[in-house]
Structure 1
Amino acid sequence: MSLPQPVPPSWKDLGKSSTDLLQKDYPFQGVALEVKTKTPSNVTFKVAGSRASNSSIIIGDLEAKWIDPRKRGITLTNAWTTANVLKTQIEAENLLAKGVKLDLVTSLAPNKGSKTAVLNAIYKQSGFHTRAAFDAFKPTLTLDTVVGRDGFLVGAEASYNVTEGRLNRYALAAGFNAPEYAVAVHALNDLKSFTASYYHRVSADIEAGAKAVYDPKLTNGGVSIEVGTKTYLDPAAFVKAKINNSGVLALGYTQSLRPGLKASVGIALDTQKLNEVDPAGPVHKVGLSFVFDS
């Protein structure tokens, strides 16, 4: 008798370990600040703001999130951005049946008169993870499914335009997850572009990963490759580094200054233009990020 299979990752989380390693904790685009607080009534407030290094505009949002204390799986999130966009998200998990999650996401921009409403339905169980999303104002139906067994993963995604009665796009993916490593291959954009990612936990203190992308529209017929690593200096600090085949080297350092306070610094260097000055903007980038979580 075979052992019960774990719930596989969702379509968007295939290759997530490699993506997080190569994308997160590199705050070299500017300055960012995030503050989180939680009230006794189970409401979490988050204020986030950022300013790009090449702009004087500050972008931010105020978010309030309420989780039902009676553990019925209901969560309500409201956000208001500096672009005057109101966002609401209502989640209900395991309310109708075990493994079923319903999620309604809406947004309203009064100044522009634009609005969105997307209803998501998620069902997951042993060896199976599927999602459906219906965009009411387009209208578009998107379906994706991932099945897994003994670490092997196979997934597919398709988007269908209900009004026009045609398939907008489709994609396939395959991968393998193990405790120390993970690999994933995606065929996207109607199987016209491809990505391959790899993640390896070398030891308790060292992680490594790589990602290759082939997209005729973005890579001019070639392949874009990026490799990176993460090293824990101690339980409260780690260093990250990555480089791509365009010669851009990025470094990141994150330090937990105290419980609830984290600071990160990032730098990106174009190694092919170390001594050049570009009139269009800075060749190299430096940024800071602070996170307060009480």
Structure 2
Amino acid sequence: MSLPQPVPPSWKDLGKSSTDLLQKDYPFHGTALEVKTKTPSNVTFKVAGNRNATGAIAGDIEAKMTNKQHGLTLTNTWTTANVLKTQVELDNQITQGLKLDLTTSIAPSKGMNKSAVLNAVYKQSGFHSRASIDVLKVGSVRSLAFRWGPTFTADTVLGRDGFLVGAEAAYNVTEGRISRYALAAGFNAPEYAVTLHALNDLKSFSASYYHRVSADVEAGAKAVYDPKHTHGGVAIEVGTKTYLDAAAFVKAKINNAGVLALGYTQSLRPGLKASFGLAIDTQKLNEVDPSGPVHKVGMSFVFES
């Protein structure tokens, strides 16, 4: 009798180890501040703000209330762009492994700019499936009128003994056709992972690799072929992460365009983390670009109690 299979990652988390290694903890796009607090009644507040390289400031304030006994979570967010977001989640109440959530957003100053997305996630041994539909999505007709144009999106990942296969498709309800589809395959082991994606109706492809070399060193790489954005070539990025001690680590990555990025993260004390990032275009060390800075530097601070 074979052992039960673990729940595989969701479609969006295929290749997550490599993506996190190459994308997270590089705050070179500006200065960010995040403050999280939690009350004894399980209400979490988060205030986040970011100032990018051009000086523009964006932020949001979020309140999350959780009732674990009834599997209910309510999240409200208000952004500096005057967008109000609400998310209601119901987990493991209708049947084990099923999670439902309704996410709505509205911009009061922009009239028709609103959405209501209904999501469903179902997880079992060796199976992970998601589905969503924006019931308020509106499309224009000849720029004079409007029509309902919801799109139903679904994806499924199957896993067995570390092997993963997945597929995603989007169905335009109004036009009665599949508007987007993609496939993926991979293998996950405790110390390494390989993932292949065929996206955009199987017209663009990516391959990612992650390896935990030792307890203190991680390495990864990603290659992307997209005829619309890579000009017939392949975009390649490689990176590594090294833990200096239990409270600090450094990261470095470089791509085939010659952009070198460095990141340093330090836990200053429990609940306080600081990150610093630097991006250098090695092909433009002595150039000045009037459209914006060639090299970038930034930092991020996270307070949590």
Residue 174 of structure 1: aligned partner: 185
1:1-80 aligned within 5 A? 1-53=1-53, 55-68=54-67, 70-80=68-78
- Determine the C-alpha separation between the residues in 1 that align with 2:56 and 2:165: 43
**What residue is the counterpart of 1:116 in the other structure?**
115
Partner of 1:83: 81
Displacement of 1:129: 0.4
In structure 2, what residue type is equivalent to 1:39?
T
CA distance in 1, matches of 2:87, 2:214: 39
| Alignment counterpart, residue 102 of structure 2, candidates 91, 101, 104 | 104
Answering whether residue 223 of structure 2 is matched by residue 204 of structure 1, we say no
Residue of structure 2 in register with 1:239 after alignment: 250
The amino acid that maps onto 1:122 is V
CA deviations on 1:96-127 (whole Å, 9 max, x unpaired) are 01000001110000000110010001101000
Per mean C-alpha deviation after superposition, the further-off stretch among 232-241 and 272-281 is 272-281
Q: Distance in 1 between matches of 2:56 and 2:29?
A: 13
Shift of residue 73, structure 1, vs aligned partner: 1.4
TM-score (norm 2): 0.95
In the superposition, the TM-score normalised over structure 1's length comes to 0.98
In the alignment, the residues of structure 2 paired with residue 281 and residue 135 of structure 1 have an alpha-carbon distance, to the nearest angstrom, of: 37
Amino acid aligned to 2:134: D
CA RMSD of aligned residues (A): 0.7
Structure-1 residue corresponding to 2:144: none
Q: Is it true that 1:229 corresponds to 2:228 in the alignment?
A: no
Q: Give the counterpart letter for 1:105 in structure 2.
A: T
C-alpha separation between the residues in 1 aligned to 2:215 and 2:256? 28
The residue aligned with 1:125 is 124
Distance 1:187 1:62 in 2: 37
CA distance in 1, matches of 2:24, 2:56: 23
How far off is 1:3 after superposition? 1.0
**Which secondary structure state, in structure 1, belongs to the residue aligned with residue 22 of structure 2?**
helix
Sequence identity percentage: 80
Measured against aligned partners, the alpha-carbon deviations of 1:35-76 in whole angstroms (never above 9, x if no partner) come to: 0001112100000000101x22210000000110x4321110
Unaligned runs of at least 5 residues, structure 1:
none
Q: Tell which deviates more after alignment, 173-182 or 136-145.
A: 136-145
Matched length: 292
1:206-285 to 2 correspondence within 5 Å?
A: 206-285=217-296
* 2:17 partner SS: helix
Q: Please show how residues 154-169 of structure 1 align to structure 2 within 5 Å.
A: 154-169=165-180
Q: Deviations over 1:158-198 (max 9, x none)?
A: 00000110111000000000000001000000000001000
Structure 2 unaligned residues grouped into runs of 5+: 138-149
Deviation at 1:281, TM superposition (A): 1.3
* One-letter amino acid of the counterpart of residue 218, structure 1: H
TM-aligned CA deviation for residue 276 of structure 1: 1.2
Give the partner amino acid of 1:90.
Answer: V
Q: In 2, Cα distance between the equivalents of 1:256 and 1:96?
A: 41
Whole-Å separation in 1 of the counterparts to 2:78 and 2:56: 17
Alpha-carbon distance in structure 2 between the residues aligned to 1:241 and 1:200: 15
Query: Which amino acid counterpart does residue 83 of structure 2 have in structure 1?
Result: V
Deviation at 1:279, TM superposition (A): 1.5
Aligned counterparts of 2:69 and 2:57: Cα–Cα separation in 1? 37
